[in-house]
Every structure is written in structure tokens, then in C-alpha cells.
Amino acid sequence: MENPKTRCSWVNLSNPLYIQYHDEEWGRPASSDLEHFEGISLEGAQAGLSWETVLKKRARYREVFKNFDPLAVSQMSDRELEEILLDPGIIRHRLKVFSVRNNAQRFLELISKYRSFDHYLDSMEATVQSSGNREESSGATRTRSALSDCISRDLKKRGFSFVGTTIIYAYLQAIGRVYDHEEQCFLFRSQH
């Protein structure tokens, strides 16, 4: 019998969806602006809840928010968003639902300036590095960093909502910009 893989301690091992997310997605780079927009949107929906709750509802979020195409979402009407608020397949929080459209509009403005969200993140990393602000050691128990603080501040100035530093830090972990697999995890790799 094969030995079971050791994973990060936060993974609910009784939930195959969560295991799959950890093993195949978490900590890996986003490959497109759509993935970045989805990640930021879902992390915002998660605020105050568990990621597992959002993960269980992700498929429905993709349906109601047009596969997180920021252009399509930016054009959603108030009526469409009001209908989404009635859907038990998502987290029915008015401010969070309406923030997805607002953030899509802001996201489009941002990528029109930076060409892609990856380029934007690169510029934020350069800003943090040039400020001399050194990152502390990472770890899954951390909830913020100099980079997440910088990005959060900047996104808020641009009009984004549900982008606090803890939300942004979780997002950076999810897309591998902050590598926080725990040392005992089979996916852990040396960061040096």
C-alpha cells in the first residue's frame, strides 16, 4: 500500500475538492488575467469565511459571474447582481456581490495601464524591493507582508473593494507569489 502524501496542515483531508485544490492549484502561478480576476474576486468573497466554503461554491460563482471575464462582469446590470443575491449557490452578501462588478471595472483600468495583471504585480514587487522593506520569513500562519500591504493600499486607492492586506496575502499565496507550502508538505521546495 502506498504511503499517503503529507500535505499542508490547513487542508481538510476529508474533502477531495480541497485536496485537489491544494495539490493542483494552490501556490502555482496564474496563467491569465482571467485567473487573476477570479482569484481576487473569490478571495474577496471569502472574507470572514473559510476558503473551503468558497471552494465548494466556486463552480456556481463561475457561472453567475461569466467565468470571471472582467469585461463581461464590468457590464453586468444592477438587476443581474440583484438576481445573483437570490442564488443560494453563492455567498449572498450584497457588498461582496456588487464589489465583483466594481472590481472588474477597476481591473480593466489597471490592465489597460500595465498590459497585464502580472506586470502590475511585478511593479508592486519592485516598489517593495526598492523601498528597502525586506520580507520576513514566509509561512502559512502569516496573514500579511510588505508586498500584500503595498498592493492592498494601491488597489484601494484605485477604487477596488474587498482587497485588504489579509485578502491580498491569501491571494498571493494562492498564485505562488508568496510560496507558503509548509515544510512537511510533499509540495514544499526550498526557497533558497
Report the chain's C-alpha Rg in angstroms. 17
Which secondary structure element, helix H or strand E, spans residue 68, and what is its range?
none
Q: Give the closest residue to 174 by CA, choosing from 35, 45, 79, 34.
A: 35
Give the C-alpha separation, 107 to 113, whole Å.
Answer: 10
Contacts of 75 (CB under 8 A, 6+ apart): none
Q: Pick the catalytic residue from 18, 26, 38, 43.
A: 43
1 neighbors 181 (Cβ within 8 angstroms): no
Q: Pick the catalytic residue from 21, 52, 125, 135.
A: 21
Catalytic, 26? Answer no
Catalytic, 10? Answer no
Q: Pick the catalytic residue from 18, 51, 61, 120.
A: 51
Catalytic, 43? Answer yes
Q: Which residues are catalytic?
A: 21, 43, 51
